[in-house]
Amino acid sequence: MIKRIAAVAALIPAMLGTTAGSVSAHSAPKATAAVVTLTYDASQAGQWADAIKQAAQNWNDAVQNVHLQPASSPGSADYVYKATDGWPQSTVGPVFPGGSGEVQLGQEAVNEGYDLTRVATHETGHILGLPDDYDGPCSEIMSGHGPGPSCKNTKPDAAEAAQVDQNYAAGPSATRPKTHQVVIDIWHNPALTPSH
């Protein structure tokens, strides 16, 4: 009986080692020693305020190496959200503390029927350094308008979260891009365009 207990006891670490060693292909990198905190100003965002709050929460729930929070004062924000009449557009990051990113949340996307939180989460993804992937499925937040206005997913997928964590893995001391591009996202539903 003692030999059987000893044999089972010897197998347990080996069995645990095989399962503990398996890692998902989309596992997020471990958090850095110093998480990068980015602050934002939503004081000029009007009707988008709740969507911005939820978008920040969606990213904070998905990533480990960067944390989004409202700025203590508008002038101290690393990036700003503004409501506009046009199409949504954003600075393409990654933006770091002391940065000057901007997200313009355009009414045109609302007029086309897109979910406000999806738009805000997508545009925030650009601030965090993610490009568009319009050919992607609805489950990817960076597929943006690609899946059409019926897509209501507002959360980044595991691969997108892993890329953002990689973008901020070096922490606050990371080398920052000297210039940023601005991407204009035309949240347009081709099915609504009349044919000629």
Q: Which of 102, 108, 112, 123 is catalytic?
A: 123
Three-class SS state of 40: strand
Contacts of 171 (CB under 8 A, 6+ apart): 32, 33, 34, 35, 36, 65
Token duo for residue 51: 């969507």
Token duo for residue 124: 């925030």
Q: Is position 123 annotated as part of the catalytic site? A: yes
Separation CA 82–CA 165 (nearest Å): 26
Separation CA 31–CA 168 (nearest Å): 9
Q: Kindly list the catalytic residues.
A: 123
